[in-house]
Amino acid sequence: MIDGRACFFQGDSLLLPRDFPDSNIAAGLPVNLSHEFKNYDLFRIPSIKDSSSVINVLSVPRETVLPDYWRTFPVRQALALFSAENNNQTQELDDILRACHIAQWRRDSVFCGTCGAENGDANDGIHRLCPRCGRIEFPRICPAVIIIITDNENRILLAHNKNFKAGVYSHISGYSEAGETLESAVLREIREEVNIEVTDIEYVKSQPWPFPNTLMVGFKARYLSGTVKADGVEIEDAKWFSRDNMPPKLPGEGSLSRHFIDRWMEGAL
């Protein structure tokens, strides 16, 4: 029996009553509000930073039509909200990101990938356990690299991905492939997307990114050679920017990409 308060999710958005203040999202909602929904997944997971603490999570299918007095609040907005209030990730935000990730994975892992039987849950509340063949399934985590690239003229390389909103420029990034080190992924993504070589690759910082299942691994690198040329497939435009001539729109507050830009603007990267 799960009681108390829980994070309510639909996909990568929190669910909130319309009159619930955004500033209180870390407090969660009373679990007994679950009666508002006909179909939901209610589960409990340990907090990643404090194994003695648990996170109650309620997840409804993406196709569920919400009652009129409910609304969605994208987790990306929660990142920006926490960043503005605290200037760093708090325990509450870490728990929300963790819960969001696992809630989406559970929706994708209802059935065993080996025999097709309906999965059960392991005793720890995180893993799936197939009652037919015994296959254990762990939450999927896909590592991706994101790189802040600078040159000897105190400029930063930013690009506009075709999937970005109009005017937004950010860093080169991409998923690591099977059999590839993260450092090799850095070199490959930069070559493929903007046609240049870099050196002095160094790890900086990472961030969980549950949209839906990514771990962003941040690096910095220095321009070495080549002429910047967007690949025209993923990257529509790429160019060097100086601190007094930045693009009109930047990545959202709370993201690792924005953190890199802000640190660079301060002269810390």
Task: Please name the residue that has the structure tokens 């060097």.
Answer: 240
Domain range summary for the chain, segments of one domain joined by +: 5-108, 142-265
Q: Which two tokens stand for residue 195?
A: 């046609």
pLDDT of residue 198: 98
Neighbouring CB atoms inside 10 A of 154's CB total: 11
Question: Can you give the pLDDT at residue 85?
Answer: 62
Instruction: Give the pLDDT of residue 51.
Output: 72
The whole-number pLDDT of residue 82 equals 84
Say if strands 5-10 and 29-30 run parallel, antiparallel, or are unpaired: antiparallel
> What pLDDT does 35 receive?
93
CATH topology of domain 142-265: Nucleoside Triphosphate Pyrophosphohydrolase (3.90.79)
| DSSP symbols for 112-169 | -TTT-PBPEE-TTSSSEE-TTT--EE----EEEEEEEEE-TTS-EEEEEETTSPTTB-
Q: Which pLDDT does position 4 carry in this prediction?
A: 92
pLDDT score at 3: 81
- Residue 163, token pair as written in the block: 């999937």
Q: What is the pLDDT of residue 77?
A: 93
Provide the pLDDT for residue 48: 85
Tokens of 148: 């802040």
What's the pLDDT score for residue 124? 72
0.95 exceeded by pTM: no
pLDDT (0 to 100) of residue 155: 98
Instruction: Say what the pLDDT of residue 66 is.
Output: 95
CA–CA separation, 80 vs 215, rounded Å? 18
pLDDT block averages, 10 residues each, the chain of length 269: 90 96 92 94 89 90 94 94 67 91 96 96 87 96 98 97 96 97 98 98 97 97 98 97 96 94 95
3-class DSSP state for residue 177?
coil
Q: Give the dihedral sign, CA 131/133/134/139.
A: negative
**176-208: b (≥16 Cβ within 10 Å) or e:** beeeeeeeebbbebbeebbebebeebeebeebb
